[in-house]
Amino acid sequence: MSKPKSILNREQLNITIHRLCHQLMENHSDFSNTVLIGLQPRGVMLAARLQQCLDEIHPEFNVELGSLDITFYRDDFRRRKNPLVPSSTQLNVSLEDKKVVLIDDVLYTGRTVRAALDAMLDFGRPSSVELLVLIDRRLSRHVPIQPDYVGHTVDVVAEERVTVEWGDNERVILKA
């Protein structure tokens, strides 16, 4: 296996997250009617990071955050070798008439987001739904889904894997 290639280093990732926060603020003013929803498992960390960053910029905002697990809504159940083990869903608010931002780290085929739209509707009918992703793997969609906010766009082949790492060594890398 060749050495992982860097897409965004720690500093670049930090700048991108700040830009995404400001783009969200353009459309959601004080976030009073907005819910950020991280998709389990990996979108949750990005969502938490965005909420933290918004809190630093505007401590008076009270940004609502939830996590949504879409395992039971997937369209590839029983097509995989093993069933996926679900993660937890934590949504303590009704989404009725809310402005929802679905958040995931990497947008690839779009099937996860399709399932998330289904799963989300079980918690109410939002007035609008937007999609925010850190990495958009362009030209690899299986369904007609496009993001509203994009951190970084990449063109990579199917065999390559884009991984977002969190924690002390935050970065985005490409593995062959």
Partner 1 sequence: MKTLSVDHLLGIKNLHKEDIELIFQTADNFKEVINRPIKKVPSLRDITIANLFFENSTRTRLSFELAEKRLSADTINFSAASSSVKKGETLIDTVNNILAMKVDMVVMRHPNPGAAEFLSKNIDARIVNAGDGAHEHPTQALLDAYSIKERLGDVVGKKIVIVGDILHSRVALSNIFCLQKIGAEVKVCGPNTLMPKYIDALGVAYEPDLRKALEWCDVANMLRIQLERQDINFFPSLREYSMMYGVDKKLLDSLDKKITIMHPGPINRGVEITSDVADSKQAIILDQVENGVAIRMAVLYLLAGKIKK
Binding test (CB under 8 A) with partner 1, winner from 118, 127, 138, 142: 118
Rounded CA-CA distance 67/122 in Å is 14
Which one-letter DSSP state was computed for residue 71?
A: G
DSSP E strands in 40-160: the ranges are 64-68, 99-107, 128-137, 149-154
Residue 97 binding partner 1, by CB under 8 A:
no
| Pick 50 or 119: Cβ nearer partner 1 | 119
Q: Which stretch binds partner 1 (CB under 8 A): 20-28, 87-95, 98-106, 128-136?
A: 87-95
Rounded CA-CA distance 72/86 in Å is 8
Take residue 2 and report the two structure tokens written for it. 């060749």
Burial class (CB in 10 A: 0-12, 13-18, 19+), 168: exposed
Q: Which stretch binds partner 1 (CB under 8 A): 4-12, 70-78, 100-108, 146-154?
A: 70-78
Q: Which stretch binds partner 1 (CB under 8 A): 6-14, 44-52, 114-122, 130-138?
A: 114-122
| Pick 16 or 90: Cβ nearer partner 1 | 90
Residue 112 binding partner 1, by CB under 8 A:
no
Site for partner 1 in 122-161 (CB under 8 A): 122-124
Rounded CA-CA distance 22/90 in Å is 25
CB of 77 to partner 1, least distance (A): 6
Residue 14 binding partner 1, by CB under 8 A:
no
| Pick 82 or 169: Cβ nearer partner 1 | 82
Rounded CA-CA distance 36/125 in Å is 15
Contact 19, 148 (CB under 8 A): no
Interface with partner 1 (CB under 8 A): 69, 71-73, 77-78, 80-89, 94, 118-119, 122-124
